[in-house]
Amino acid sequence: MTARHDGPIGRRFVNDSVYQRLRQWIIEGHLAPGTFLRDQELAQEFGVSRTPVRESLLRLETEGLVVTKANRWTQVAPFDIEGVMRRYPIIWTLESYSITVNSLDGWSSQDFSQMEQYNQQLSQAIHHRDAVLAAAADDLFHRVFIDKAGNPELSATLRQLKTSLVRVEIAYYHEMWSSRESLAEHDAILGALRRRDAAEAVRTIEVNWKQSLARIQDIATRGDGVSGPTS
């Protein structure tokens, strides 16, 4: 088989670029829930054909970020707060697993310093009321010990599970971040890891996620952001 170095590779890059841009706009709230997504308009916006836009919208639909009614409309998906809440126990269970399968004896001072740096970035983002950077710093903090497990499937699964959570964290910044509770919870996780106390690390990880779940439940109790797509 003769190797080729032309069209298909370029098209893949275009598709990925369109997909990543739309995904970012939705997660960061630049495209609000219920916003209609018209492939022709988006194609003109990006300077591409309609094909990569349509393919990107299909990918986003599988992630739950877009909803479609056949031959009628495509919209940014509403916030599914109840669905987000159902993911929390799965996430803290998988994150706890990443600790139990990872010998903490092999951790270096650089690993701890990296987590501390991300927590400082979270503190700065909260201080500046930057919801996007706060969510990113929080994710990077957790990703250090998740990736230390050396299980790409575990890391990918958790990233997928957290997609809808990040949307909520950014959209409801005040409820999710302004209390600064996450900083103290992260300090407890980092302290347990520094002591190589796996059982305590698991406990503090669960506390972090359960406290976050409580904040989400408060949002759900008020009924914010639970409505479905418009017709």
Distance CA 51, CA 33 (A): 23
Which is more confident, 104 or 5?
104
- Correct CATH for 7-76 of 3.40.50.300, 3.30.1490.20, 2.60.120.10, 1.10.10.10: 1.10.10.10
Confidence at residue 219, expressed as pLDDT on a 0 to 100 scale: 80
Closest by CA position to 183, among listed 155, 204, 159, 161: 204
Q: What is the pTM of this model?
A: 0.83
Please, which pLDDT band fits residue 11 given cuts at 50, 70 and 90? low
Read off the tokens for 96.
């706890």
Please, which pLDDT band fits residue 216 given cuts at 50, 70 and 90? confident
Confidence at residue 230, expressed as pLDDT on a 0 to 100 scale: 38
In words, the CATH class of domain 81-222 is mainly alpha
CATH 1.20.120.530 maps onto the chain at 81-222
